Amino acid sequence: MRRIKEVLRLKLDCGLSHRQIVAALGVSLGAVSKFVSLAEGEGLIWAAIAGLDEDQIEARLCPKAAPAKRRRAPPDCGLIHRELRRKGVTLQLLWEEYVEAHRADATYRYTQFCQLYRDHVGQLKRSMRQEHRAGEKLFADFAGQTLVILDPAGGPAGAAHFLVAVLGASNYTYACATAAEGMVDWIGGMVGALTYYGGVTDLIVPDNPKALILDADRYEPRANRTALDFAAHYGTVILPARPRKPQDKAKVEVSVQIVERWILARLRHRRFFSLHEVNVAVAELLDELNNRPFKKLPGNRREWFERLDRPVLKPLPALPYRVAFFKRCRVNIDYHVDVDGHYYSVPHALARQEVEARITGGTVEILYHGKRVASHAKNTRKGAHTTVADHMPAAHRAHMEWTPGRFLNWAASIGVAVAGVVRHLLTDRPHPEMGYRACLGLLALAKQYGNDRLEAACTRALVIGAPSRKSVASILKAGLDQQPLPGTRQLDLTLPAHANVRGPDYYH
């Protein structure tokens, strides 16, 4: 602590020596010499400075003014807050860029730079203080407010519910009207959101709706099969917020409030007769909302989206997702599965196996261990079958390829009698297909006995009035096809005398 005034008092007023002053005040000899010399150089006497304080005396002795402090360049905290949402960007990197950009000016050191940013963040809303990386998360939730849909007579016909989605980094907001809050509405709304953004985020963070989440576990939540299928289609992950932890989705909580205040409140006096009309009105106000400037940050939602999220969003698939329902099925022995009363074929090797049916509006796909093994156009006919030939065993496929005309042509190529038996087999039953197997049996007999014997056997079968496969097979087996037909002239044969031979009189 300086004691300039006391040194000069003891010297100029009391007349003490330098060493006596040192001993009295405990200051250095050099300091005493310095201030006494300055006073003598200025021609000061004690009476002239007795009424001055320390600072005034120092100003008289040392009139050189202290150099003015250089004004430091302030960092752009709004820009820092936005840039931190880009992947890989840190405060250290932004500080280095800040120093490089203000080479000619005085700059803050890294610690002061960080403190200035933290002070700025502390002035923002709580929801804005969370750090969200660009392209990382899409938050979604339903608003509590609804709008009435009217019927043509002007009475209430239903209510429009509103799904709200928001990107974590840019706050770019999407909203649409749905008929309810079920699974189809959730999935349809998120498909609309991803289409609106033109890309896909790494994560989708909904609440824990029963329409999507089977088990709302705090640590291992489990989504339903349709939600997982939706996520797989877009190459993203559904990660629901923790139960009873609204801070996990604070971003969408704020966005829901904004949509209710800036969109739904403006529509409260309008009359709507369909969801389409509501969505048209919402889309117009949504553009206005995303173009409104932020209050405490530079730019608006659309500008932040174009700079932050759009460049890093994953591309959309070629086709939008169509909501699918899943059903566990067991393949019947005839290699068909029952889906809503209609039977669809699968590869015959999967008979008796458990499979999964994926059902959309127009198709039915069969999955085995997650791999698609069959796909059919959806058919609502109860009890009917949809069969793909490639799913059938070779023998069944060959059977399927036969037609009445083909059987008749084959029979005619052998002979008139075979054609007559085949025609009888095809026409003697309620449906021609019921005689296919019998005709195939005749074909097998032709391979076994030859065409000539088959023609002869069929001739005998027609003569005796038994044109069936069994009859023809019996004739061939007994060799009767090689015997003269009944009613033709035969040689008289004398029966040998034997006790067991009965004469014609025995039957009278």
Contact between residue 309 and residue 169 where contact means Cβ atoms under 8 Å apart: yes
DSSP 8-state assignment for residue 493: -
Q: Which residue has the tokens 């999935």?
A: 187
Residue 471 tokens read as: 């009859």
Region 319-335 average pLDDT: 91
Other residues' Cβ atoms within 10 Å of the Cβ of residue 257? 14
Q: What are phi and psi of 332, to 5 degrees?
A: -70, 170
Let me know the angle formed at the C-alpha of 274 by 272 and 276, rounded to the nearest 5 degrees.
105
Model confidence at 422: pLDDT above 80:
yes
Region 294-304 average pLDDT: 86
Instruction: Give me the pLDDT at residue 128, please.
Output: 41
Instruction: Give me the pLDDT at residue 365, please.
Output: 94
Return the bridge partners of 106, or none.
72
Half-sphere exposure of 155 (CA within 13 A, CB side): 1
Q: What are phi and psi of 65, to 5 degrees?
A: -75, 145
Strand order in the sheet with 336-339: 336-339, 342-345, 385-386
Q: Which residue has the tokens 């889906």?
A: 339
pLDDT, tens only, 76-128:
888 888 788 776 678 888 888 888 888 777 888 899 888 888 888 877 755 44
Contact between residue 282 and residue 272 where contact means Cβ atoms under 8 Å apart: no
Region 186-215 average pLDDT: 90
Instruction: Give me the pLDDT at residue 493, please.
Output: 39
Pairwise CA distance, residues 244 & 75, whole Å: 39
Q: Which residue has the tokens 């120093």?
A: 99
pLDDT, tens only, 435-472:
777 888 888 899 999 999 999 999 999 999 889 989 99
Q: Which residue has the tokens 């405990």?
A: 26
What is the average pLDDT score of the chain? 83
The pLDDT confidence band at residue 4, using thresholds 50, 70 and 90, is confident
pLDDT, tens only, 480-492:
888 888 765 443 4
Pairwise CA distance, residues 478 & 461, whole Å: 13
Instruction: Give me the pLDDT at residue 321, please.
Output: 93
Pairwise CA distance, residues 391 & 407, whole Å: 24
User: Residues near 207 by Cβ (< 8 Å), separated by ≥ 6?
Assistant: 141, 240, 241, 249
Model confidence at 50: pLDDT above 60:
yes
Share of the chain above pLDDT 90, in %: 35
Pairwise CA distance, residues 133 & 130, whole Å: 10
Pairwise CA distance, residues 403 & 416, whole Å: 19
pLDDT, tens only, 338-351:
999 999 999 989 98
Region 198-218 average pLDDT: 85
Region 42-57 average pLDDT: 77
Model confidence at 495: pLDDT above 50:
no
Alpha helices (H) in 63-208, listed in sequence order:
77-83, 91-101, 110-122, 183-197
Model confidence at 212: pLDDT above 90:
no
pLDDT, tens only, 120-173:
887 775 544 456 788 888 999 999 889 999 988 878 888 999 999 999 888 899
Buried (b) or exposed (e) across 476-498, using 16+ Cβ within 10 A? beeebbeeeeeeeeeeeeeeeee
The pLDDT confidence band at residue 506, using thresholds 50, 70 and 90, is very low
Other residues' Cβ atoms within 10 Å of the Cβ of residue 306? 13
Instruction: Give me the pLDDT at residue 274, please.
Output: 92
The residue ranking higher by pLDDT, 494 or 235, is: 235
Contact between residue 72 and residue 105 where contact means Cβ atoms under 8 Å apart: yes
Phi-psi region of 487 (alpha: psi -120 to 50; beta: other; left: phi over 0): left
Q: Which residue has the tokens 């576990």?
A: 217
Instruction: Give me the pLDDT at residue 195, please.
Output: 94
AA letter at 422? V
Instruction: Give me the pLDDT at residue 398, please.
Output: 62
Residue 424 tokens read as: 């009888």
User: Residues near 405 by Cβ (< 8 Å), separated by ≥ 6?
Assistant: none
Q: What are phi and psi of 106, to 5 degrees?
A: -75, 140
For 22, 44, 64, 193, the CA distances from 49, given in Å and listed in that order, are 21, 7, 19, 81
Alpha helices (H) in 201-332, listed in sequence order:
225-234, 250-259, 275-291, 301-304
Pairwise CA distance, residues 214 & 24, whole Å: 88
Pairwise CA distance, residues 313 & 199, whole Å: 5
AA letter at 127? S
Pairwise CA distance, residues 367 & 358, whole Å: 7
Query: What domains are defined for the chain?
Result: 4-61 (no CATH), 77-123 (no CATH), 137-312 (3.30.420.10), 325-394 (no CATH), 402-482 (no CATH)
AA letter at 170? S
State the virtual CA torsion across 402, 403, 406, 411 in degrees, nearest 10: 90
Q: Which residue has the tokens 């150099």?
A: 67
Instruction: Give me the pLDDT at residue 194, please.
Output: 95
Q: Is the pTM of this model over 0.75?
A: no
The pLDDT confidence band at residue 432, using thresholds 50, 70 and 90, is low
AA letter at 278? V
